[in-house]
Amino acid sequence: MKPKHYLLAALFTIILGLGLRKVSLAPLWIGDSLYAVMIYFGARAIFYHRPASAAAIIALCWCYAVEFLQLVQQPWLHHIRQTLPGRLILGQGFLWSDLVAYAAGIVLVYLIDQFILKRKG
């Protein structure tokens, strides 16, 4: 896949994730997994010439960093988290279960990406 395909996949993932926020029956971990999938697609678009595993590691590190940043309660960060973009990007509260959801989302999308790449090649 080309970088533009990964960017389109990231955009689709954002739309899907925002849409699922409106569905009360969707478990919260699905949104967390989709956040990680979106980050993976972004990393694949930016680091296109690197192995997919590099994008997976970068995405996982990014997601974990954002999650652990939620433990930091500085006033300026709290102010950012009170905005819609801040809430969507930085989250609001640390949860160990989010780390599992991020890992699951990245592993799943990595495996799908590898399957697609092998079928193309």
- Confirm whether 86 is domain-assigned: no
> Quick check: 110 and 52 in contact, CB under 8 A?
yes
Question: What pTM was estimated for this model as a whole?
Answer: 0.89
Q: What is the number of structural domains in the chain?
A: 1
- Confirm whether 7 is domain-assigned: yes
The encoded tokens of residue 53 equal 């595993």
In sequence order, what are the residues at sequence separation of 6 or more whose Cβ sits closer than 8 angstroms to the Cβ of residue 38?
10, 13, 14, 17
For the stretch 15-72, pLDDT in tens is: 999 888 887 778 889 999 999 999 999 999 999 999 999 999 999 999 999 999 999 9
In sequence order, what are the residues at sequence separation of 6 or more whose Cβ sits closer than 8 angstroms to the Cβ of residue 77?
69, 90
Residue 8's domain spans which residues? Answer: 3-63+96-120
For the stretch 82-112, pLDDT in tens is: 998 898 888 888 999 999 999 999 999 999 9
Rounded-to-integer distance, Cα 54 and Cα 58, Å: 6
- Confirm whether 69 is domain-assigned: no
What is the residue-wise DSSP string for 54-96? HHHHHHHHHHHHHHHHTT---HHHHHHHTSHHHHHHH-SS--H
- Confirm whether 77 is domain-assigned: no
- Confirm whether 70 is domain-assigned: no
**Which among 51, 57, 49 has a CA at the least distance from the CA of 2?**
49
- Confirm whether 52 is domain-assigned: yes
